[in-house]
Amino acid sequence: MIKGIGVDIIELNRIEELASNKKFIHRILTHAEIETFLPLTNRRKIEYLAGRFAAKEAFSKAMGTGIGKNLQFIDIEVSQDSFGKPYISKPFATGVHLSISHSKEYAVAQVIIESSSS
């Protein structure tokens, strides 16, 4: 049974402006995500950060809470499997489906959360 669906879209140029402040990066990315982020090229860093931002916003919408005092960006972690497919690994991974896509100007993410009961 579907518990929640969330979607978010973000302009890459908006993330590029915000990313000039390192505090923003540390507010959005977990330590593990920062390790993946640091060696990327500048363009790829913006895509990565925008994708994670959109994924975390979409997850918070699917949870029905949004980002706020009870759920912050760093409470949510996006990992990649051996094929590069992103997935939510924190706060829980079971029953969460994530898709992230980029274009020249935008990043978009969709999250579907399933409950274990039918």
Q: Is 47 annotated as a binding residue?
A: no
Q: In what order do the strands lie in the sheet with 106-114?
A: 2-11, 106-114, 96-102
Among candidate residues 31, 45, 102, 104, the one labeled active-site is 102
Question: 50, 102 in Cβ contact below 8 A?
Answer: yes
User: Which amino acid would we find at residue 99?
Assistant: S
Per-residue CA distances from 104 to 9, 13, 47, 50 (Å): 13, 10, 9, 12
Q: Known catalytic residue: 102?
A: yes
Residue with tokens 């390790």: 35
Among candidate residues 3, 23, 61, 69, the one labeled active-site is 61
Q: Is 33 annotated as a binding residue?
A: no
Q: What DSSP letter does each residue of 58-81 carry, written as one string?
A: HHHHHHTS-SSSSS-GGG-EEEE-
Give the residue numbers annotated as catalytic, written as ranges: 61, 102
Bind-site residues? 8, 57
Bind-site residues for Mg(2+)? 8, 57
